[in-house]
Chain A
Amino acid sequence: MDSTLEKKPQVTRRQFASCAAAAAAGFVLTACGPRRLHEVPTDRLKLALAAMEREYRAKFGKAVHVADTPAIPGVLFAYALDISRCVGCRRCVHACVDENNQSRDPEVQWIRVLQMEKEKGVDFGHANPYYEPATVPEDGHFYVPVACQQCRNPPCTKVCPTGATWTEKDGIVVIDYDWCIGCRCCMAACPYGARHFNWGEPTIPSGVLNTETHYLGNRPRPKGVVEKCTWCIQRTRNGRYPACVEVCPVGARKFGNLLDPDSEIRYIIEHKRVMVLKEELNTVPKFFYFYAT
């Protein structure tokens, strides 16, 4: 029955035509279709940024600038935090929220300040982020603020199934909020609790919105995607210090270029007792904790 009904050459031709059409469509879509923002050509990125600016203007009723400032050549950022000085006042947490347009409700905070007991040392098993005394520091306690450690060997980027998070040339681990599918593998992989998910629609009152943004940093995020500290990429790529560094009332936070032998960071590494969190995991953080006194 098969042989009488089948007309093989015709089918083959049709198959060929449909295959060719599919290949052409695939090619066109691959060339012009949506792609991860960091790999699209500059002119398309500019269009995408303009679209973002329009969207934010419509949403917040004010002009928002979305920059795409690239990494500065010869710069590898690093951060250092003086545990012997931090008093646990959380000024950094709230300055970070303001600078980086984190959702106020549901609450998203990139920095978590852990209160620990001096008797027990750096032990996450006894850490308390919810301390609320009238004044800080409290006797017998010290404070370890934790945010993204900007690892050189980041466990979070390798698990991402869509390649929506990666390390920039200046060492900042960033997320493409338009490409993230919200699977949260990176959150399971991060040993520092640095990645945060927008469980609900993020809300930022228009009045407190920071309108100077970077497309890989503090631009407003949609719900259902992951976000994290970017060392204030919108500031630091223009030579400024991150917001948490400037706000710290005790000067416990230090920032600079790891490749510059004269930088504050290099001075600290060379002169102070420095540690990294969970060193045994070989994440190789560029965020150092030190004891200046």
Chain B
Amino acid sequence: MRSALITLGIAAAASGLYFAAGRGEASAPATVQTAPAQAGAPAQPAPVPSAAPKADAPGQRVEVPPPPFSDGIFPCSECHAQLTPNRTRRVLTDMHQDIVLKHDEEHRWCLDCHDASDRDKLHLASGELVSFDESYRLCGQCHGEKYRDWRAGVHGRRSGQWNGHKSYLLCAHCHSPHQPHFQPIEPKPAPKRPTRAGR
């Protein structure tokens, strides 16, 4: 029975690959107020109203700490305002060589997410510009299930109050957008093995 549960787990991992189609991109001319997660979602019972504003309320803008920019990198327009956008996909040689893209890199490059005309913004597939502190909407276009879990408070680190204010982090606080897979970390010390008295 236990191995069956693990098989389930592996199946679960596979099922995570499907995109929650229609999230974000389906609601084409979206405005800030539009609910990106609502369109195309299967009919669900309306959530019971709760006193505290909930992050998973449709369209609710989620309060997050400032995006984790590297020092001195933002606003991007400080440099890019003087440059003519080059929309050709290429290997960068003059600047940002430190960024190695390992995020569906065969199909994607910088300008799929960063906006060429407004460098301080990102853009969704629909063309709608979003600021970096709303970047979760961009991520949620592909990672619909994770996005939904995150809004529900289930994906991601949680701190604050279980019955009150919950603090959210942007996806980028934990996952580097360019290399989102978690890097292995050093474990804390193992427990001591029990020893018999006098040994």
Contacts and interface: CB of A to CB of B under 8 A. Distances in A.
Direct contact of A and B (CB under 8 A): yes
A135 B162 contact: no
A272 B156 CA distance: 15
B193 A291 contact: no
Q: Binding site of B, secondary structure by majority: helix, strand, loop or mixed?
A: loop
A84 B12 contact: yes
Contact of B189 (A90, A240, A246): A90
Interface in A112-170: 112, 118, 120-123, 129-137, 142
A245 B189 CA distance: 19
Interface in B11-62: 12-13, 16, 47-48, 50, 54
B198 interface: no
Nearest to B184: A135
A186 interface: no
Contact of A246 (B8, B154, B159): B159
A254 to B, nearest CB: 6
Interface residues of B, number: 42
Contacts of B187: 88-90, 131-133, 135-136
8 contacts: A93-B191, A134-B186, A250-B157, A250-B174, A255-B158, A264-B158, A292-B154, A292-B155
Interface of A: 72, 75, 83-84, 87-91, 93-94, 107, 109, 112, 118, 120-123, 129-137, 142, 236, 239-241, 245-246, 248-251, 253-257, 260-264, 267-268, 271-273, 275, 291-293
Interface of B: 2-10, 12-13, 16, 47-48, 50, 54, 149, 152-164, 174, 182, 184-193
Given A246-B158, A271-B152, 14 more contacts: A87-B185, A118-B6, A129-B191, A131-B190, A239-B164, A241-B158, A249-B157, A249-B174, A251-B158, A254-B153, A264-B153, A264-B162, A267-B152, A273-B9
